[in-house]
Every structure is written in C-alpha cells, then in structure tokens.
Amino acid sequence: MDKSYPSAAAALADLLRDGMTLAVGGFGLCGIPEALIAAVAASGVRHLTVISNNAGVDDFGLGILLRRRQVRKMIASYVGENAEFERQLLSGDLEVELIPQGTLAERLRAAGAGIAAFYTRSGVGTAVAEGKPTAEFGGELCLQELALPADLALVRAELGDRHGNLVYRKTARNFNPPAAMAGTVTVAEVHRLLDPGQLDPDQVHTPGVFVHRVVCNPQAEKRVEQRTLRSA
C-alpha cells in the first residue's frame, strides 16, 4: 500500500476538525513536523488539545498555532522558550498540563501499546500527584498515570518509505516514536521518501503499521533553538 501524499495539506485534508487532540513529535526544535504544523495552521481548525514535549518558539513550530489562538490546551513537559505561551497562560486563555518528561513519553507509548495505565515514582509528593491514585511497590509510593492517546499524531523522520516505515536521526528519536504510536491516525513528514525495500528492516525505528500517511518535505528549516558561541 502506497501511503505517500503529494503535500502536507493533502495528507491532512480530511483529518482535521475543531476540538481534536494532536500528538506532535520533536524535541525542542529538533525533529518537528514543521510542514504538517504549517498545514494545520493554514486549515484554521481551533480549540485543539496539543500533546508535545515542548511548545516551540513564538514564530516557529507549535508557536504558530499558539499565536493564531488555535490551541485550547497544551500538554507538555517544557515550555520555557515561548513568550506567547506565557502570555496566554497568565491571562487564562490557555489551559496547560505539565508532565514530567519521562512520564509524558511513557503515557504516549502506553497509548500505542494498549496499556491503559501504569505506575511511576515521578511526581510523588508534588502538585503532579494531586487527584491521582497511588500504590506502593517494593516500599516505594508510586502514582498511577493514564495512557495519553491522540486523535491525530504528526511526526518527523529522516527517512521513510511508501509503506510508512520510519527512521529518525539522533535527537529526533526522543519523542517522535512514542507520538507516532499514540495517534489513532498518524501522519509522518520525512526528509527523504524511499521505495519499499530500500530501508533495512533492522534499522526501522517506527514500523509502518503505526503510520497511515507519509509526505516528503526535504526543505525543513532546521532552526537552532539556542545558539551558544565561544568568545574569540
């Protein structure tokens, strides 16, 4: 089955609706599906719940959706680089759920693995624990965390084939694989699109069974989030 589409807009045309939940891959600005995010922004859908490790920056990545007031709720583990996010949070215009980074990754992975809930020590004794069931394992108190499924997952990979098999590059592998698993429908944006059989099966990070549509975007901007230079 050829899962490739000619553009990000075409891949998302019949999938987007107001009020849906999106899981978006990436780590900082590394490995973000920027063409797919831009297509979501251009569609005009609103009241979105967005699950992502971070919230992008003001004028790039998920920051575009925030600036256009298309996001109702943000579920993330780090949000410190986005001034627009801060403005909306402090004004009460944006609902926010902050989750420890490892817990966020596991909640996404659990959704794809068919695991309804799991227990973790992360967050015990903090505001994260409020209202959550607890249990003791080996003398350690743990919190119950629920799986975090999404209506639609948007991910970015270095390589992909027309069957939807994906290979990520370095840091992009942090959150894209669990995000890809969590989506009821998953759309992948890839730097290079290959024919079936060109990927070594032993090198595939996300099998095509998790991916429903693929679009090639070789022109990713690949911004540096924070540039640090040594003095001369």
Residues 1-20: tens digit of each pLDDT: 899 999 999 999 999 999 99
Q: Which domains does the chain have, with CATH numbers?
A: 4-115+147-216 (3.40.1080.10)
pLDDT at 175 over 70: yes
At 224 the pLDDT is 67
Inter-residue contact 67 to 59 (CB < 8 Å): yes
Segment 62-114, tens digit of pLDDT: 999 999 999 999 999 988 778 888 899 999 999 999 999 999 999 999 999 99
Query: Following DSSP, what letter does each residue of 56-83 receive, concatenated?
Result: -BTTBTHHHHHHTT-EEEEEESB-TT-H
At 117 the pLDDT is 98
pLDDT at 196 over 70: yes
Which token pair is 73?
Answer: 């709720």
At 56 the pLDDT is 85
Beta-carbon count within 10 A of 26 CB: 26
How much helix, strand and coil, in percent to the nearest 5, is found in the chain?
Answer: 25, 30, 40
For the whole prediction, is pTM greater than 0.85? Answer: yes
Inter-residue contact 182 to 23 (CB < 8 Å): yes
Q: Which long-range contacts (CB under 8 A, 24 or more apart) does 199-203 make?
A: 199/159, 199/161, 199/165, 199/167, 201/165, 203/167
Query: Following DSSP, what letter does each residue of 11-35 receive, concatenated?
Result: HHTTT--TT-EEEE--BTTBT--HH
| Rounded mean pLDDT, 135-150 | 97
Q: What is d(CA 215, CA 188) in angstroms, rounded to the nearest whole number? A: 6
| Rounded mean pLDDT, 27-46 | 95
pLDDT at 220 over 80: no
Alpha helices by DSSP H, the chain:
8-12, 34-43, 62-67, 83-91, 101-113, 176-182
pLDDT at 58 over 70: yes
